[in-house]
Chains A and B, each alone.
Chain A
Amino acid sequence: MEYPIPFSRYQEHMREGRFVGVRCGACGSVLFPPRAVCPECGGRAFSETELKGEGIIRTFTVIRVPPEGRKAPYTIVMVELSEGPYVLGNLLGLNPEEVGMELIGKRVLMKPQPVAGDLLLRGEFLVPGFYLV
C-alpha cells in the first residue's frame, strides 16, 4: 500500500500554489487534506484532484494566549470548501481585533501561508491561509 498523497508531497503542491486532494472512486467524496481511507464509505481507490480553494467560514476563533513560540493574536477559521471537505486555517488580511460572529457564512479564498515549525515539529511548513472574497 502506498499512502495516496503524503504530507511531503502535499507540501510540494502548496509550494506550487496548488491544493491537491483525492477523490474517492467509490462515492465521489473529495478528501482534503488527502487520506488513505474514505471516511464516508471506506473506499481506498482514489484519483488526485485539484481544489479551487473557494469556501465558506463555518466557525472561527481569535487565539489570544498562544502556544510557546507563536505571537498572538491571530484568527483561526474552519472553512467548508466548495468541493465538500472542511479545513482548518488562518484568516489573513483582517485585523483579529475586528472579527466577530459576522464572519460565519462569509466566502473566502485559500492561499498557502508559511509558518515556522518548532522544537516539537521541526521544519518550515505551508498551511492553508484564507482571505475574505
Chain B
Amino acid sequence: MSFATKRLGKELSKINNSLPPGIELVSADNFEEWFLDIRVLDNNPLYANQVYRLKFKFSAQYPIEPPEVVFVKLANRPIPIHPHIYSNGIICLDLLGQQGWSPVQNVESICMSLQSMLTGNNKDERPAGDEEFVRGNRLRPKDIDFYYHDNNV
C-alpha cells in the first residue's frame, strides 16, 4: 500500500462520516482522483446560488506533496470568477504550491480554504494575463511557478 493510499483511506472514511456545510463528496472511486462540490455559505453576489466542482489529483507522495486541485467546468458547474482563479480552472493559491503546502493539510481543509477564498472576494475579475495564460499554458498546475503576490484576496 502506498504512502498516499493509507492516508487517503483514513481521510475518506472521515469524509464519508461528515463534511462541513457547503462541501460535498461527488466521487472517490480510487486513490488518484476525487471530485468534490463546494459552495459559499454567505450571500456574496458573485457566487450566490452556484455550486463549483473541484478535481483533486493525488500523487503517490501525497500528503508530502500537495495534491493538484483545479475547478472543472460542466454545464451546471461554472468556474468561479476570482482574481486568483484562471478561466481554465487553475488556482493560484500558495497553500497548493510546494512552498506553502504542509502535509498536515488535507482534502477537507483545502475545500474550506477555497470556500473562504471565494467568500472573502468582492472583485469580479480574472487574474492579470488570464487570456494569454489560458491560451499558452500546457503545464500541469504543480509545475507552474505562481508568484503569490497577494494572499489577502
Whether chains A and B associate is no
Contact residues of A with B, CB < 8 Å? Answer: none
Contact residues of B with A, CB < 8 Å? Answer: none
